[in-house]
Amino acid sequence: MPDFALSHTVTLILITVIVSFIAFQNQNIMNRLIFWPPAMQRGQFDRFITHGFVHADGTHLLFNMITLFFFGSIIEAFYRQYFYDLGFALFYLGGLIAAIIPSYLQHKNDARWASLGASGAVSAVLFAYILFEPWKLIFVFFIPVPAII
């Protein structure tokens, strides 16, 4: 029997792509998942997580998922080594929440402000990579540079 186990990185990418494409087609779903302060005041705290699974457009989605793909598996291996199987998923979700808190505090009374996308969590993954592998080369617009720069 073949092993169909997926890494957490690939699973997060698949979920994010599927949810984003569904939300692209259905504005009601998009509106329900985005981070919007008035919804928080109504107790919809799940938006601290759900906003990371919808994106503004295909380009936004593509850049986030490419970055997550290339750096996620490396950080996932580190977290699995020290924190067992759910370490990376918890790190990713924690990055998603931690990244939105300053914006939420700044805009919590602004009904015209909303946020979406996984950029906060993806940035957490990228910066974790830089922290753990500062002298490894990364490619910025196809130019190899040390991660620490």
pLDDT band at 149 (very low <50, low <70, confident <90, very high): low
| Residue 127 covered by a domain | yes
pLDDT band at 2 (very low <50, low <70, confident <90, very high): very low
CA angle centred on 128, ends 100 and 16, rounded to 5°:
55
**Number of domains, the chain:** 1
| Residue 2 covered by a domain | no
**How high is the mean pLDDT of the chain?**
89
Encode 71-121 in three state secondary structure.
HHHHHHHHHHHHHCCCHHHHHHHHHHHHHHHHHHHHHCCCCCCCECCCHHH
Q: What CATH number has the domain bearing residue 135?
A: 1.20.1540.10
Q: Encode pLDDT of 65-90 as tens digits.
A: 999 998 998 888 887 777 777 788 89
User: Which residue segment(s) compose the domain that 70 sits in?
Assistant: 8-146
| Residue 123 covered by a domain | yes
| Residue 57 covered by a domain | yes
Residue 99 makes CB contacts below 8 A (sequence gap 6+) with: 119, 120, 121, 123, 124
| Residue 1 covered by a domain | no
